[in-house]
């Protein structure tokens, strides 16, 4: 078995992994970024929506943008619509933004990493870790030729919700079904959608414990998907079943050109560092538990991870106590995710009648900002008894 040596190995070339690799390389480190699939960004396991805050991290080329949204519409079970748009908002639009071409976006981020000096390898899978006592010292990979030992002082695991690398390192990455959303999505064409608006549909008959979405992609096409709480999934009532029912009602004449399936962690953050290892993105459960959005959180955490690792090299200290600076700098993000997790626990228990009541209470509201926090604050203000337990989370 051949042996190689790098300062840092990053497992997973999604937004979090590529960002972490790029930042570490920009600090002069020798970085290897591996991706198990034969092509970065493929298959797409994402609804592809992202807010314009993405521009805080990277300048988007036009080819990475399918459509630009002017707002979002949220529909309660009885069809009551809450519109979040430039027409109703007076402040910064935090949650509306772009529907991406993720396969191009992920490739673009990986290219930026490569341009910064990162070595990128595809069709290369991490199959185990190398340890010296309690410390992670690298990984064993399998590629098209053979297996290899890749020694590194730090491993950054951005390997998704499964996070096999984190589990091998002794971190608790198991997730219970109640904290997991299982999703199914069709790429559809020949459908009538308003291209300026993303749409979200709530209701226990539509998507129990989750929601359905329609993200326009131009030319009468869209990503149409459903995510449901995994604990409510059963034979005849799985995410794909709910999606097919939703499409029959909403887009009976539409044609399906692609299908994707996946899972989204909605548990809130977990312990994400140990000796020689940092978890980033879905592996660290950094997805917003209420909305399921994770691209920007992964990029923010990836940037922090790259910086913390660079500082650890200056100290020549890769212990958990040294790398714990990563969790300290992610504290604000993690606190937000914890609040959203508690909000999700409450919202997921609402009946359709309660969801309708909440939606009707917002008719005519003009929002200062278009984000989940402002939406929840307004709901609490207008429904204090129903949402009393949320008031302390969003003062």
Portion of the chain with pLDDT greater than 90, in percent: 79
Question: In the beta sheet, which residues pair with residue 213?
Answer: 200, 225
CATH number at 207 reads 3.30.9.10
CA atoms within 13 A on the CB side of 27: 20
Q: From the DSSP assignment, how many helices (H) and strands (E) are in the chain?
A: 11, 20
Q: Alpha carbon 208 to chain centroid distance?
A: 20
**Residue showing tokens 């990836």:** 302
Q: Do 158 and 125 sit in the same domain of this protein?
A: yes
- DSSP label at 379? H
Number of domains observed in the structure of the chain? 2
How confident is the model over 122-178, as pLDDT tens digits?
999 999 999 999 999 999 999 988 899 999 999 999 999 988 999 999 999 999 999
Q: Taking the model in full, what pTM does it have?
A: 0.93
Q: Is 197 helix (H, G, I), strand (E, B) or coil?
A: strand
Burial of 249-271, coded b for 16+ CB within 10 Å and e otherwise, reads ebbeebeeeeebebbbbbbbbbe
In a domain, 344, yes or no: no
* 116 has pLDDT over 60: yes
Q: Can you give the pLDDT at residue 91?
A: 45
Quick one: which of 39, 279, 20, 55 has its CA closest to 159? 279
Give the range of the structural domain holding residue 385, as residue numbers without chain letter: 70-94+176-266+349-395
Rounded Cα distance between 110 and 36, Å, is 14
Rounded Cα distance between 384 and 23, Å, is 44
> By the 8 A CB rule, do 99 and 46 touch?
no
The first and second tokens of residue 242, run together, are 């709910």
> By the 8 A CB rule, do 31 and 5 touch?
no
* 78 has pLDDT over 60: yes
Q: Do 28 and 120 sit in the same domain of this protein?
A: yes
The first and second tokens of residue 122, run together, are 């595809």
The first and second tokens of residue 145, run together, are 């030729």
In a domain, 320, yes or no: yes
Q: Can you give the pLDDT at residue 381?
A: 85
Q: Can you give the pLDDT at residue 81?
A: 92
Listed range (58-67, 79-88, 95-104, 112-121) with the worst mean pLDDT:
79-88
> By the 8 A CB rule, do 212 and 206 touch?
yes
CATH number at 293 reads 3.50.50.60
User: DSSP letter string over 15-39?
Assistant: HHHHHHHHHHHHTT--EEEE-SSSS
How many Cβ atoms sit within 10 Å of the Cβ of residue 132? 11
- 94 pLDDT band (50/70/90 cuts)? very low
How confident is the model over 35-46, as pLDDT tens digits?
999 999 998 888
Q: Do 20 and 135 sit in the same domain of this protein?
A: yes
**Residue showing tokens 């203000």:** 381
């Amino acid at each position: 078995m051949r042996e190689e040596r790098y300062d840092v190995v990053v497992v997973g070339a999604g937004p979090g992994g590529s960002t972490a690799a790029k930042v570490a390389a920009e600090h002069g480190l020798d970085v290897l970024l591996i991706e198990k699939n034969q092509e970065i960004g493929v298959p797409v396991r994402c609804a592809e929506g992202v807010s314009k805050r993405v521009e805080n991290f990277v300048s988007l080329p036009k080819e990475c943008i399918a459509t630009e949204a002017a707002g979002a519409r949220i529909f309660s079970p009885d069809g009551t619509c809450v519109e979040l748009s430039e027409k109703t908002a007076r402040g910064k639009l935090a949650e509306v933004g772009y529907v991406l071409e993720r396969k191009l976006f992920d490739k673009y981020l990986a290219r930026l990493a490569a341009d910064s000096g990162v070595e990128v390898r595809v069709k290369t899978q991490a199959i185990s870790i190398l340890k010296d006592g309690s410390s992670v010292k690298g990984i064993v990979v399998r590629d098209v030729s053979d297996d290899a030992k890749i020694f590194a002082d730090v491993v950054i695991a951005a390997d998704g919700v499964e996070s096999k690398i984190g589990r091998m390192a002794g971190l608790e990455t198991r997730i219970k079904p109640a904290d997991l959303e299982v999703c199914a999505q069709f790429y559809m064409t020949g459908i009538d959608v308003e291209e300026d608006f993303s749409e979200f549909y709530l209701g226990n008959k539509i998507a129990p414990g989750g929601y359905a979405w329609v993200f326009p992609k131009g030319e009468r096409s869209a990503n149409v998907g459903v995510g449901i709480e995994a604990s409510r999934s059963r034979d005849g009532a799985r995410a794909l079943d709910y999606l097919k029912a939703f499409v029959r009602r909403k887009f009976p004449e539409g044609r399906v050109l692609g299908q994707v399936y996946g899972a989204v962690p909605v548990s809130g953050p977990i312990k994400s560092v140990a000796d020689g290892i940092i978890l980033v993105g879905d592996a660290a459960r950094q997805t917003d538990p209420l909305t399921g959005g994770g691209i920007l959180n992964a990029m923010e955490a990836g940037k922090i991870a790259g910086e913390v690792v660079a500082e650890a090299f200056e100290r020549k200290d890769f212990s958990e106590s040294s790398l714990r600076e990563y969790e300290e700098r992610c504290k604000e993000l993690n606190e937000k995710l914890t609040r959203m997790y508690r909000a999700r626990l409450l919202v997921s228990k609402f009946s359709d009648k309660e969801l309708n009541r909440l939606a009707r209470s917002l008719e005519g509201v003009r929002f200062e900002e278009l984000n989940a926090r402002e939406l929840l604050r307004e709901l609490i203000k207008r429904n204090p008894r129903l949402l009393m337990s949320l008031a302390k989370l969003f003062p």
